Amino acid sequence: MDTDNDSVTLIYEEIKKRLEIQQSQRETYERKASTLIAFAGVTFAFLMGARDTLVALPGCSQKLLIFSIFLFVISVILALIVSWVYVYRVDPDPKVFAEKYISKSSIEIKKQLISNFIDSFLTNNKTIKRNAKLLRATYVSQGLAFCLLGISLLISVF
């Protein structure tokens, strides 16, 4: 193996690992978003079950409760955006790639794969970074909603 081929192989392997990490990161974000949606669903079910009690809360507690519900709704919307089924770029197309590169040298193939992998990574990274921001906002929204819910109930007790 010559130095050029060693470099190409090293770059190829590193970029391939990064793509695998990126896909794992995407899956983790989507799983977390689904968990947050489920948590909000359980909270909504709890609130619906206690509807009669909640209607009898003092005005201040009711306002906090309504704002808390609003924040839960916002968190669900954000989490749904994160967990939405997006088409992520996965290169290369096997059929086209096989037809075009069947007679090329392994180093030429790796160089083309490196180019494709970089494009895929950059394209997908935009969506993944956006989802990370939305997921953080979802956590903040649900955290605040849960705190307000607790405060609302505490105010009604005292």
Segment 60-73, tens digit of pLDDT: 888 888 999 999 99
Number of H helices, E strands in the chain: 5, 0
Nearest to 47 by CA among 137, 158, 145, 155: 145
Lowest mean pLDDT segment, chosen from 25-34, 42-51, 124-133:
42-51
- Helix ranges (DSSP H) in 84-157: 94-101, 106-157
The domain containing residue 133 runs over which residues?
3-157
Q: Percent of the chain beyond pLDDT 90?
A: 65
> Rounded to whole angstroms, how far apart are CA atoms 38 and 137?
16
- The count of C-alpha atoms lying within 13 angstroms of the C-alpha of 17, restricted to the half-sphere facing its C-beta, is 6
pLDDT for 2 equals: 57
Max Cα-Cα span within the chain: 79
pTM: 0.82
Please check whether residue 78 is in contact with residue 138, taking contact to mean a CB–CB distance below 8 angstroms.
yes
Nearest to 92 by CA among 111, 64, 71, 78: 111
- Tell me the per-residue pLDDT of 80-101, one tens digit each, with 9 for 90 and over: 999 998 888 888 888 888 888 8
